Chains A and B, each alone.
Chain A
Amino acid sequence: MNPFSSGTRLRDMIRAIRACKTAAEERGVVRKECAAIRAAINENDNDYRHRNLAKLMFIHMLGYPTHFGQMECLKLIASSEFPEKRIGYLGLMLLLDERQEVLMLVTNSLKQDLNHSNQYIVGLALCALGNICSAEMARDLAPEVERLLQFRDPNTRKKAALCAIRIIRKVPDLAENFINPAAALLKEKHHGVLITGVQLCTDLCKASADALEYFREKCTEGLVKTLKDVANSPYAPEYDIAGITDPFLHIRLLKLLRVLGQGDADASDLMNDILAQVATKTESNKNAGNAILYECVETIMSIEDNGGLRVLAINILGRFLSNRDNNIRYVALNMLMKAITVDAQAVQRHRATILECVKDSDASIRKRALELVYLLINESNVKPLTKELIDYLEVSDQEFKGDLTAKICSLIAKFSPEKIWYIDQMLKVLSEAGNFVKDEVWHALIVVISNASDLHGYTVRALYRALQTSVEQESLVRVAVWCIGEYGDMLVKNVGMLDIEDPITVTESDAVDIIELAIKRHTSDLTTKAMSLIALLKLSSRFPSCSERIQDIIIQNRGNLVLELQQRSIEFNSIIQKHQNIRSALVERMPVLDEATFIGRRAGSMPATVSTSSGASLNLPNGVAKPSAAPLVDLLDLSLDDAPAPSSSGGDFLQDLLGVDLSPASNQSGTNQASKTGTDVLLDLLSIETPPVQSSSSPPDVLSSIQHNKSPVASLEELALPSSLSGQATTPVAAAPMMDLLDGFVSNPPKPENNGSVYPSVVAFESGALRITFDFSKPPGNPQTTSIQATFTNLSPSVYSDFIFQAAVPKFLQLHLDPASSNTLPATGNGSITQNLRVTNSQHGKKSLVMRIRIAYKINDKDVLEEGQISNFPRGL
């Protein structure tokens, strides 16, 4: 090479690049070199192509783009000289990968080179093919490789074997062709060919069931003998590593035997002796020996059972586990995970050691150990193991805490023997690592708490105590705030004290203090603050003496920049100030949340935000009057497709309305299932006069959403006291949220549209004492809206006073009630009350109007209640 020719030598370029002190300098040098190389490429320079490609490869390794040099590889490969081919193929493997289309152009050169007389050139081609070929190339060149498996030179045979592995991985269908040639390789003596041949057979077995059959039948014995031979072979310096002859061959043979013996008793029998020999005779003071033992144990665990062998294997496992070398312990943990499926007892014996590994200083070992511990937990050891893990949680470092917390929570949920234990452990986890706990987990905790009614007092007290020390754990604060809001009265009155509890005195003021703290902490986020606000509202009802103070706290968020908090603050304040009569009903104790549904939903990857706590309301877009009904529906365990079950007429209606499977008894208070409280829900919502001490039967989110959104409250009032509100203009949309709670009307077949035609009046309701007539009209231009004038006529000889009409409609309708003309209904039809309603049907044309009504009035100061369903609306409304 002429030293004065253009361009630098490879080593000069490398030297220049290494001498650069800054990244910019390096970029400069590289740019210059690339420019020179590009120029040389353009001139089709032959002499320095070799050198230029080497330079390009170095530049590529540094991370710079070098695609412009890809064609140079092809030119070099096409050369007839060995040096060019050698660097050309190397360039090909470094600069290209199978995704490049340029690669296809090499196929022809490869084919020629695979047929070359020079075995080293054949070797180069096999190497390139085996490292980066695409599926197409694999298909094209498979016959050549097959032929080469029987080439005269063993080095070529071994390369062909490995090349065949790639071909099979790319095109598994071709596996059949290689079975016979591969089997032949197993009989060879050359170690390189043996190793690669065994590897090829292993891959063939994985790719083709036929291959597996074939090798199992024909080759198992031979392989066992080969392993025996190499295990017993005398010292061979060429293959010796740490006193063992060719450990690589040992390991590959063990792997193949594993594949052949798995699931087949006969094959497993054949290998028992040699496995025992390897397990007992292999020296384990050096890495090579341990590697062989590792592979041997894996094989023993995978093949069909032989008691003696398994014992041997477990012993080796035990030794590894207590080895000081971290690598060995890591590998032991791996082995144990396999061993669990085979002999769980044996692994349980090592539980203590494994637990120690969870606390190891090595992150890799900790991870393995934790996974293993998780697999080891069963009902009998869950308590002590969980205790250990939680203890460790306190000292573990931050990166590990997340994993550890997730595993612990998962364990607690899966194996919890009793609710109190569950709650205790979860509280500990929350206090220690609440910030790592995922949303679903603390939601689940709340579900469990709500189901453990005898533990409500205990739980709220425990949470109160926990808050004293761990207020920086956000999830803990949220759960505590929820519980204190719900069960604050139990907290203060020490209801349901268990023997194990220490006495604690919490005043109402203390309880409010702590919630105030939650709101005011600068680290509290939106969810926590929002939950705190509603907890305060609950407390204002449960602790009337603190009501004023609570109001003061709530009002402070009136101007909060976050709309959610602002809205809550104003609405709750309004409830406290002006609507004490409904407040207690609104914030009554929540009904028990149905665990089964919740778990089912969790399994179906529910978004974390649909929670069973008031946090759910946060998802409702700010300011939009219509909250999503889906969470509510889910919570009430409503299924839209439930077929109506035969039951009393009242139950029927409500069931249709709510899609809930009701029994007649559910109309009375007392049941705690969310699904059964459908009726009560509705009635309680509608009957404002009913005393609040009914069953804990108000659905949580119904109330939350009502509280959340002023409009539903307004419409509630409207329904209840239409006469007392004059000029309270709420839009028809406002009524929607209320109605959204009600769901699942049996859908009627679509009706033809009727535009503006006159509809006959109907007698909507008639009992012995009362008749209600509806007159319909449609405002022009709006086919979905219907104006109804309701006329109430008294059919009895007594006067009705305090006459109140309420109505509820399903989700797809919107209802607006105007104030009635009067509250007093003269007797015997000597007068009537009229009231205007406006209904908007979003499913106009598809579904008919339907309405549930309730009328309350007094006869001589005695309350009377009448209810009914109106389903005889004219079609087309």
Chain B
Amino acid sequence: MLQSMGAHFVKVIRELTGIILSRGPKLCNFVEWRGLKVVYKRYAGLYFSMCIDQDDNELETLDIIHHYVEMLDRYFLNVCELDLIYNFHKAYYILDELLLAGELQESSRRTIARLVAAQDSLVETAREQASLLGDLVKQAM
């Protein structure tokens, strides 16, 4: 479903941005591009776009985008653009629980939230242990 863009990723982004931003508000959320379809949805100042194959369901894709945005909202507690900029890696972690190999991975937001939280706490624990060790080392010196 999702395409890997490789080196010309910047060029692709620029092209799509131009196409999508030039579309008026009342028009449909689908654009045909290079033989593929791009589904986009606007949330406040941000456009979320997904590029799909010819035989994918466009209406469902809109729901998938919404699924993701709701997840972000749940995680960041009223997500805003800055949250995504400063915590882009976390946005990716959430995305990685939603999609894999371009296909939908999980339909339950609760499950996704649980999984991400579990991994976050693993990171917390590891950091705490590392800083504890650091303190111990300093004390020993």
0 or 1 for each of A312-327: is its CB under 8 Å from B? (1 = yes): 0000000000000011
Q: Is B88 an interface residue (CB 8 A)?
A: yes
User: What B residues does A158 contact at CB under 8 A?
Assistant: 105-106
Chain B 115-130 interface 0/1 with A at a Cβ cutoff of 8 Å (1 = within) = 1001100110011001
A287 and B105 in contact, given A14-B86, A362-B28 (Cβ under 8 angstroms): no
A residues less than 8 Å from B57 (CB atoms):
251, 291, 294-295
B27 close to A (CB within 8 Å): yes
Please, how many angstroms separate the alpha-carbon atoms of A271 and B141 in the complex?
A: 74
Known: A58-B88, A97-B4. A327 touches B105 (CB 8 A): no
Nearest A residue to B60 via CB reads: A291
CB-CB contacts below 8 Å: B54-111 with A = 57-60, 62-64, 67, 85-86, 88-89, 92-93, 96, 100-101, 103-111
B32 sits at the interface (CB 8 A): yes
Complex-state Cα separation, A247 to B103, whole angstroms: 15
CA distance A159 to B10 in the complex (A): 29
Would A86 and B59 count as touching, CB distance under 8 A? no
CB within 8 Å for A131 and B86 given contacts A192-B105, A238-B110, A327-B28 = no
Q: Which residues on the A side are within 8 Å of B105 (C-beta)?
A: 158-159, 162, 192, 195-196
Contact A287 B107 (CB under 8 A): no
Q: When A and B form their complex, what is the total count of cross-chain residue pairs whose Cβ atoms lie within 8 Å?
A: 149
Count B interface residues, CB 8 Å.
Answer: 48
Contacting residues, chain B, for A196 (C-beta < 8 A): 103-105
Known: A58-B88, A81-B126, A83-B127. A287 touches B106 (CB 8 A): no
Q: A248–B126 contact, CB under 8 A?
A: no
Q: Does A155 contact B (CB under 8 A)?
A: yes
Interface positions, chain A 349-406, Cβ under 8 Å from B, are 361-365, 367
Q: Report how far A82 CA is from B121 CA in the complex, Å.
A: 10
Measured in the bound complex, the distance between the Cα atoms of B88 and A58 in whole Å is 8
Interface 0/1 of A236-254, CB less than 8 Å to B: 0011010000111101100
Chain A residues with CB under 8 Å of B109's CB are: 238
| Complex contact B103–A199 (CB within 8 A) | yes
- Residues of chain A contacted by B126 (CB below 8 angstroms): 81-83
Assembled-state Cα–Cα distance A87/B88 (Å): 12
Q: Mark A122-158, 1 if CB is under 8 A from B, else 0.
A: 0100110011100000000000000000000001001
Give bound CA distance, A195 to B111, whole Å.
14
**Contacts A58-B88, A294-B57 hold; do A327 and B62 have CB atoms under 8 A apart?**
yes
CA distance A287 to B92 in the complex (A): 26
Q: Is B6 part of the binding interface, using a Cβ–Cβ cutoff of 8 Å? A: yes
Residues of chain A with a CB closer than 8 A to B23's CB: 363
Query: Which residues on the B side are within 8 Å of A90 (C-beta)?
Result: 89, 92-93, 96
> Roughly how many angstroms separate A162 CA and B97 CA in the complex, as a whole number?
12
* A331 to B110 alpha-carbon distance, docked (Å): 31
B29, CB-defined interface residue at 8 Å:
yes
Tell me the smallest distance from the CB of A100 to a CB of chain B, in Å. Answer: 9
Cα–Cα distance between A248 and B111 once the two chains are bound (Å): 15
Min CB distance A192 to B, Å, is 4
Say yes or no: A367 contacts B60, CB within 8 Å. Answer: no
Identify the interface centre among B26, B28, B118: most chain A CB within 10 Å of its CB: B28
- Residue B31, interface by CB 8 Å: yes
Q: Of B58, B85, B96, B104, which is within 8 A of A327 by CB? A: B58
**A578 within 8 A of partner (CB):** no
Smallest distance from the beta carbon of B80 to chain A beta carbons, Å?
A: 14
CB of A191 within 8 A of CB of B101, answer: no
Pick from B108, B123, B127: contact of A239, CB below 8 A.
B108
A18-B85, A162-B101 are known; give 7 further A-B pairs, CB within 8 A. A54-B89, A97-B6, A130-B101, A196-B105, A238-B111, A246-B107, A362-B26
Interface residues of B (CB under 8 A from A): 4-6, 9-10, 23-24, 26-32, 57-60, 62-64, 67, 85-86, 88-89, 92-93, 96, 100-101, 103-111, 115, 118-119, 122-123, 126-127, 130
A-B contact pairs, 15 of them (CB 8 A): A54-B89, A61-B88, A82-B122, A90-B96, A127-B100, A155-B115, A192-B111, A238-B111, A241-B67, A251-B57, A330-B28, A331-B58, A361-B26, A364-B27, A364-B28
Residues of A at the B interface (CB closer than 8 Å) are: 10-11, 14, 18, 54, 57-58, 61, 63, 81-83, 86-87, 90, 94, 97-99, 120, 123, 126-127, 130-132, 155, 158-159, 162-163, 165-166, 191-192, 195-196, 199, 238-239, 241, 246-249, 251-252, 287-288, 290-291, 294-295, 326-331, 334, 361-365, 367
CB-based closest 9 A-B pairs: A291-B59, A326-B28, A63-B10, A162-B100, A130-B101, A166-B101, A192-B106, A291-B60, A362-B27
